[in-house]
A and B are shown apart, each in its own frame.
Chain A
Amino acid sequence: MDIRSHVSMVFHLDKCIGCHTCSIACKNIWTDRKGTEYMWWNNVETKPGTGYPTLWEDQEKYKGGWEKKNGDLKLKLHSRLKGLGNIFYNPFLPTLDDYYEPWTYDYENLFNAPEGDDQPTARAISMVTGKPMDNIEAGPNWDDDLGGSPIYARNDVNLDGLTDDEREQLNELERVVFFYLPRICNHCLNPGCVAACPAGAIYKRGEDGIVLIAQDKCRAWRMCISGCPYKKTYYNWASGKSEKCILCYPRLESGQPPACFHSCVGRIRYLGVLLYDADQIEKCASVPDEELVAAQRNMIQDPFDPEVIKSAKANGISDATIASAQNSPVYKFVKKWGLALPLHPDFRTLPMLYYVPPMLPVLAKTKDGNYDVSDAESENLPALLSSLERARMPIKYMASMFSAGNVKVVEDVYRKLIAVRIFKRAQTVKDYQQAEVDAALEAGNTTADEVESIFRLTALPTYEERFVVPPLAREVAVEAWEKPLDRKREAGFGVRNKIAKRKF
């Protein structure tokens, strides 16, 4: 057992309202610079949809993540030799058009336009060429709220597993549905970007697992961009370095949650420490698809177990961090309750950002002014929130996103979420019989107490309950290699020591 700590995250998709406040908070702090115009370290996608960059989930195009070849775990991108052959011509990069051409508006014109018959307009100006854009074709969230759109939504890779009938049904007017998927870097345990980097510039911080790109080591090979299956590393054309979400580590080090977490309007984001067994990483990333979620849960260890605590201490994890892990909302969602699932575990990078899948509205009709859900009733559970079998979004779609196709895993999560709703509804609206509540609890494999805790952490969590930031003690750790007061003067993103020009 080799216990390490990881600052991990849960996004509760049921609570996401798609307002993009997180994206803006991140943009304003980190990517408001030359060369980063097109980057969104945090972005919110509408699902079904092809996301940003277009079709990022399609690894036949981008070759991100890992695959099992003859029983071995291999980078999907290339072998070492092939990587060397392609080093100047990495063929699996998204083009700028696959992200989008970033633009701003000519606001000046609103004030300075000469008098005329028409109102002046602010034309779109490309931030790449500086010239007016007549036709804006794509954006980082182009298909916003268009769940049934004929091009982007229909090409969603996760729909591939559905039958033609199921796909057709998704486009029926009454069934059209979408949900939001906010994405940041997953800070994976088995990161594809780190493995793909020929310069060895990407590393995972030991104390908290944050994956970072050393700006003075990056040599702009851009293999990380292909290697990351989530397309969460970006190339800065101005500095000639790649950049990615840094989980706002300067904020974490001063005890604050990252900006996107802090600013989240729907309070969907939770942050806390997970203790995991590093010995299991390779084994866990190599199991068959349907076991991936279980293996990843299994790797996360109980922070109350004396054996785990002993091993953690042997690895230099402080008491304060262990206490933080015991308090972690992420541990509860992921391991204790088993509600949060990794996004695309089939990429085998072991992402440490988990999602509670959304409860989508059931199919219902308005009949004589009443909201009629009688169609939704299934055999063994009451109507309204119960009809998993008749959910608008097929479970297979969710399974494709969150459990590498294992429908059972997603169903278990939904049964428990349904149990919570029925239990609370019986308490407050009182239109369910006790027998029905008990049946829901049993189907959800949960208890009244657990349901109550899930409800509290989902609906009524305080700031301190959502964000349990461990004391990273960076101010002490840094003394080991440099004088803290020297470091204090430096601030901001970029290269701390000026890099000498390359000599050829």
Chain B
Amino acid sequence: MTKGERPSTIWFVPLLVFALVTTVTGVTFAQPLGQASDGEALFKEKCVACHTIGGGKLVGPDLAGVTDNRSNEWLTQWLLAPDQVLASGDPIATELFNTYNKVPMPNLGLTPDQVNTLLSYLGSGATIGGSVLPTGNAVTGKAFFVGDKRFENGGPQCMSCHSIAGIGSLGGGNLGPDLTANGFTKYGDGLAAFLSSPPTVTMNAVWKNTPLTPQEQADLFAFMKNASVSGREPGALLQIALLAIVGAAALIALAQVYWGKRLKGVRRPMIERTLAASTKK
């Protein structure tokens, strides 16, 4: 472009049109993709892991009639950010936390729209019971955990992110928490429900599209229920320490045999040798 010539503005028009069209359509069809909009589906995706409606306690309380017991305002706030409510020292939240084995309700990342949908579903009187699992096999569960067996729907083996007692001394990944302390110990029988549809943000993203089959859930549950820190006899520690000391001493002695001559030097032996040879004459 030569100096003094004004740039043409024509190129700007199609861009403007494109921006306008995309904004309008975006706002109109701003339905979040891949998230349940219908209350029942949403509950099954996010809540059934810990809650039932009229099916009794799991990890968390039975939610039958919850809309009558708690104010709408409190419930909205709680569902939006339970972690913040609990942190703020809210008396109801604290009591619930203490009652339910100090397992805090995770922040599910719900939008205000989803919260409203859920609340109206909870107020509708529908019931959802806890799922009933088939009998699990702990050995198969371990195979699933470490990845010797693949999950039917193609989910990743647990070991890639989690460690647990009983899978060997190297353990598993440590991206997620160690499940020896955070699995069965923490959730109790609710763990089975947790496995059916993990509600936490990270787990939900991983498992939403590759859910576990009921049999897989049962097997994993059986395995994790049994897994605990394997005991070690107190005498073993002393044995290991002794072995280490003896082994180190043996290695040092071996090194001394093999490399012992390395600092003998050259000059002194040469002088000694020469002097010895001259006195012999």
- A interface residue numbers (CB < 8 A to B): 50, 53-55, 58, 61, 86, 89-95, 97-98, 138, 150-151, 154-155
Q: Which residues of B contact A54 (CB under 8 A)?
A: 266-267, 270
**Separation of A139 and B216 alpha carbons in the complex (Å):** 80
B267 touching A138 by the CB < 8 A rule? Answer: yes
- B interface residue numbers (CB < 8 A to A): 255, 258-259, 261-268, 270-271, 274-275, 278
The 9 residue pairs across chains A and B that have the minimum distance between CB atoms:
A91-B262, A54-B267, A89-B259, A95-B265, A98-B266, A151-B274, A98-B267, A97-B265, A54-B266
Q: Whose C-beta in chain A lies nearest to the C-beta of B262?
A: A91
Q: Which residues of A contact B255 (CB under 8 A)?
A: 89
Q: Which residues of B contact A150 (CB under 8 A)?
A: 274, 278
**Separation of A139 and B261 alpha carbons in the complex (Å):** 23
A50 touching B263 by the CB < 8 A rule? Answer: no
Q: Which residues of B contact A92 (CB under 8 A)?
A: 262
A300 to chain B, nearest CB (A): 35
A151 touching B265 by the CB < 8 A rule? Answer: no
* CB-contact partner of A97 in B258, B261, B267, B275, under 8 A: B267
Q: Which residues of B contact A138 (CB under 8 A)?
A: 267
Q: Whose C-beta in chain A lies nearest to the C-beta of B275?
A: A151
B155 to chain A, nearest CB (A): 38
**Separation of A378 and B87 alpha carbons in the complex (Å):** 109
A94 touching B274 by the CB < 8 A rule? Answer: no
Q: Which residues of A contact B278 (CB under 8 A)?
A: 150
**Separation of A95 and B270 alpha carbons in the complex (Å):** 13
Q: Whose C-beta in chain B lies nearest to the C-beta of A151?
A: B274
**Separation of A98 and B262 alpha carbons in the complex (Å):** 13
Q: Which residues of B contact A154 (CB under 8 A)?
A: 274
A90 touching B262 by the CB < 8 A rule? Answer: yes
Q: A54-B266, A89-B255, A98-B267 are in contact. List 17 more A-B contacts (CB 8 A).
A: A53-B266, A55-B270, A89-B258, A90-B262, A91-B259, A94-B265, A95-B263, A95-B265, A95-B266, A97-B265, A97-B267, A98-B266, A150-B278, A151-B270, A151-B275, A154-B274, A155-B274
Q: Which residues of A contact B259 (CB under 8 A)?
A: 86, 89, 91
Q: Which residues of B contact A53 (CB under 8 A)?
A: 266-267
Q: Which residues of A contact B265 (CB under 8 A)?
A: 94-95, 97-98
**Separation of A50 and B273 alpha carbons in the complex (Å):** 14
B271 to chain A, nearest CB (A): 6
Asked whether A97 and B262 contact (CB < 8 A) given A89-B255, A150-B278, A155-B274, the answer is no
B233 to chain A, nearest CB (A): 31
B258 to chain A, nearest CB (A): 8
26 pairs from A and B in contact (CB 8 Å cutoff): A50-B267, A54-B266, A54-B267, A54-B270, A58-B266, A61-B266, A86-B259, A89-B258, A89-B259, A90-B262, A91-B261, A92-B262, A93-B262, A95-B263, A95-B266, A97-B265, A98-B265, A98-B266, A98-B267, A138-B267, A150-B274, A151-B271, A151-B274, A151-B275, A155-B270, A155-B274
**Separation of A353 and B265 alpha carbons in the complex (Å):** 28
A71 to chain B, nearest CB (A): 30
B142 to chain A, nearest CB (A): 35
Q: Whose C-beta in chain A lies nearest to the C-beta of B271?
A: A151
**Separation of A55 and B125 alpha carbons in the complex (Å):** 99
A389 to chain B, nearest CB (A): 30
Q: Whose C-beta in chain B lies nearest to the C-beta of A93?
A: B262
B270 touching A89 by the CB < 8 A rule? Answer: no
Q: Which of B259, B261, B262, B266 has most chain A Cβ within 10 Å?
A: B266
**Separation of A354 and B260 alpha carbons in the complex (Å):** 38
B49 to chain A, nearest CB (A): 42
Q: Whose C-beta in chain A lies nearest to the C-beta of B263?
A: A95
A78 to chain B, nearest CB (A): 13
**Separation of A58 and B255 alpha carbons in the complex (Å):** 26
A199 to chain B, nearest CB (A): 20
Q: Which residues of B contact A90 (CB under 8 A)?
A: 262
Q: Which residues of A contact B266 (CB under 8 A)?
A: 53-55, 58, 61, 94-95, 98
Q: Which residues of A contact B267 (CB under 8 A)?
A: 50, 53-55, 97-98, 138
A50 touching B262 by the CB < 8 A rule? Answer: no
Q: Which residues of B contact A89 (CB under 8 A)?
A: 255, 258-259, 262
B274 touching A97 by the CB < 8 A rule? Answer: no
Q: Which residues of B contact A93 (CB under 8 A)?
A: 262-263
B262 to chain A, nearest CB (A): 4
**Separation of A50 and B255 alpha carbons in the complex (Å):** 31
**Separation of A406 and B266 alpha carbons in the complex (Å):** 28
B269 to chain A, nearest CB (A): 10
B268 to chain A, nearest CB (A): 6
A97 touching B270 by the CB < 8 A rule? Answer: no
